[in-house]
Amino acid sequence: MNCSEDDVLLISSVFDYVSENLQSKKFISCLRKLDKKYPDLKLTSFIDDAEDYIEDN
């Protein structure tokens, strides 16, 4: 949550990779908070894609 807007933009390209490896709903929750913090980045679709990588167990 301490990321700058530039940092979030930079790491957004690996949201899906990180999500697949972490398998963490907490990670997705954090991304959604960042999406609200920086709405101009329009991250919702990237986060939705990253969420798809989490396996339902």
Average pLDDT (11-27) is: 94
Mean pLDDT of 18-35: 95
Cα-flanking dihedrals φ and ψ of residue 53, to 5°? -80, -10
* pLDDT-based confidence at residue 1 (cuts at 50, 70, 90): confident
Mean pLDDT of the chain: 93
Contact 31, 47 (CB under 8 A): yes
CA gap 42, 40 in Å, rounded: 5
Is residue 54 over pLDDT 60? yes
Could you tell me the CA-to-CA distances from 35 to 20, 40, 55, 56, 57 in Å, in that order? 19, 8, 22, 23, 26
Q: What is the pLDDT of residue 56?
A: 73
pLDDT of residue 8: 94
